[in-house]
């Protein structure tokens, strides 16, 4: 992922230097387990443990010759080991995938911990914003068209619970990728005792694989990427709401616009929803990782490396992009500008059409048949759409023409937006308890 979208903590998780630090850690844990069991000389552990990780530049230099990244790493690390002879016992009984998949499991769980902290922030931001606007009346829209009265906090609550579910889904996916496999070539433990795998897994606070041939089957990693894609798409849902709300014709919501910020190189009046649009674009990047990573599940026999090149690109990019998206979306919500007056004005702009549902039911409950009630209300509503005459006027005229008496006092009561949201109290109680 380009530096523009890489935040420091997540960038470090996926840096080459950190990768080699993890490789050193895994190899050292294996060596310690061998020494504890008396399979290798005990005096080789300390020199290996004290050897500094090789630099990415040195590994790359050696790989130019070896064309094998793990061998290049082992060679470069051996060069840093004093005495060098101690390095002969490094990677004892292991195959490359033992190292790669185990270290990758640490990277994935570390990356997930960074993401979970960001997801907690987003959930809290949405929860607090929703509670702050539990009484902010707006019009609810279906198909982009005014439907019935609502409150802005209701829409935000829906997004808050979605973010929380997505976070919890990611937490479960952390378990799916936190898998250690140190079982040797084709995974039969022929040259390495199974106890080594258990010891290393405990040290890394992960779990040993249920089974490994030579690689860990990629269903868990696919689950993890899918969880990232879902939470990224929830971020896009938040952003889309802001994008719609910031349109000139709507103007109910807007992103914070800082001092000195510019919206357009040509049009000085512009205040564009650039953060929301960036979120929408980057969510596509995360979703794009699902299929390539999932195609790493079917490999040839015990292993091939067709998954490897794909994962080198898509796993860091998906994690880095999701981290940036969560940070950007939380900031968007925390600084969102809500125009409650504009929301109310938009609600009233259709002359009362948003009350047709309540009027329809009121006529039915007064004894008029549903078909006749629907035809009466729809006829009045269509005239309001056509010429802008307030709905109450067109309703009176159509009712009079049909010989239907209206209870004006009752209509006054039901044609109030607050009536439509009176039963949302339990929802906001649940939202307040969200953590």
Q: What CA–CA distance (Å, rounded) separates 248 from 142?
A: 19
Q: Which of 143, 259, 265, 301 is catalytic?
A: 143
Mark whether 301 is an active-site residue.
no
Beta-bridge partner residues of 150: 138
Q: Which of 85, 195, 264, 309 is catalytic?
A: 264
* Sign of the C-alpha dihedral computed for residues 18, 20, 23 and 27 taken in this order: negative
CA 265 to mean position of chain CA atoms: 32
Q: What CA–CA distance (Å, rounded) separates 387 from 384?
A: 6
Mark whether 349 is an active-site residue.
no
* Sign of the C-alpha dihedral computed for residues 428, 429, 432 and 435 taken in this order: negative
Q: What CA–CA distance (Å, rounded) separates 57 from 63?
A: 10
Q: What CA–CA distance (Å, rounded) separates 64 from 57?
A: 11
Contact at 8 Å (CB) between 286 and 228? yes
Cβ neighbours of 219 (radius 10 Å): 12
Q: What CA–CA distance (Å, rounded) separates 414 from 221?
A: 53
What separation, in Å, do the N-terminal and C-terminal C-alpha atoms of the chain show? Answer: 31
Q: What is the dihedral of CA 149, 154, 156, 161, to 10 degrees?
A: -150
3-state SS class at 146: strand
Would you please indicate which residues are annotated as catalytic (active-site) residues? 143, 264
């Amino acid at each position: 992922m380009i530096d523009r979208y890489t935040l420091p903590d997540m960038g470090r998780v996926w840096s080459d230097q950190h990768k080699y630090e993890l490789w050193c850690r895994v190899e050292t844990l294996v060596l310690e387990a061998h020494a504890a069991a008396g399979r290798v000389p005990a005096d080789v552990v300390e020199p290996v443990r004290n050897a500094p990780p090789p630099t990415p530049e040195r590994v790359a230099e050696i790989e130019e010759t070896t064309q094998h990244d793990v061998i290049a790493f082992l060679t470069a690390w051996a060069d840093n080991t004093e005495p060098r002879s101690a390095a002969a016992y490094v990677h004892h009984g292991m195959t490359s995938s033992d190292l790669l998949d185990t270290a990758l499991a640490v990277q994935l769980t570390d990356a997930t911990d960074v993401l979970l902290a960001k997801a907690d922030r987003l959930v809290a931001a949405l929860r607090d914003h929703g509670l702050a606007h539990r009484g902010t009346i707006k019009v609810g829209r279906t198909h982009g068209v005014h439907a019935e009265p609502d409150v802005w906090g209701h829409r935000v609550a829906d997004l808050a619970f979605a973010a929380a579910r997505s976070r919890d889904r990611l937490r479960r996916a952390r378990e799916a990728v936190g898998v250690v496999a140190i079982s040797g070539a084709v995974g039969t433990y022929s040259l390495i005792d199974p106890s080594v795998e258990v010891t290393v897994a405990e040290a890394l606070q992960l779990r040993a694989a249920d089974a490994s041939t030579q690689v860990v089957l990629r269903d868990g990693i696919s689950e993890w990427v899918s969880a990232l894609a879902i939470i990224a798409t929830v971020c896009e849902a938040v952003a889309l709401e802001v994008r719609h709300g910031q349109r000139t014709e709507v103007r109910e919501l807007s992103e914070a616009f800082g001092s000195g910020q510019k919206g357009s190189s040509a049009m000085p009046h512009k205040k564009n929803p650039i953060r929301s649009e960036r979120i929408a674009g980057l969510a596509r990047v995360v979703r794009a990782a699902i299929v390539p990573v999932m195609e790493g599940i079917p490999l040839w026999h015990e292993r091939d490396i067709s998954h490897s090149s794909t994962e080198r690109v898509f796993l860091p990019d998906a994690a880095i992009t999701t981290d940036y998206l969560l940070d950007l979306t939380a900031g968007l919500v925390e600084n969102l500008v809500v125009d409650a007056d504009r929301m109310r004005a938009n609600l009233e702009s259709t002359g009362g059409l948003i009350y047709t549902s309540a009027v329809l039911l009121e006529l039915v409950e007064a004894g008029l048949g549903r078909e006749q009630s629907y035809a009466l209300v729809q006829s009045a509503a269509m005239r309001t759409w056509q010429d802008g005459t307030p709905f109450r006027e067109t309703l009176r005229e159509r009712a009079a023409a049909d010989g239907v008496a209206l209870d004006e006092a009752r209509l006054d009561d039901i044609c109030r937006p607050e009536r439509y949201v009176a039963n949302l109290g339990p929802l906001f109680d649940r939202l307040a308890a969200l953590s």
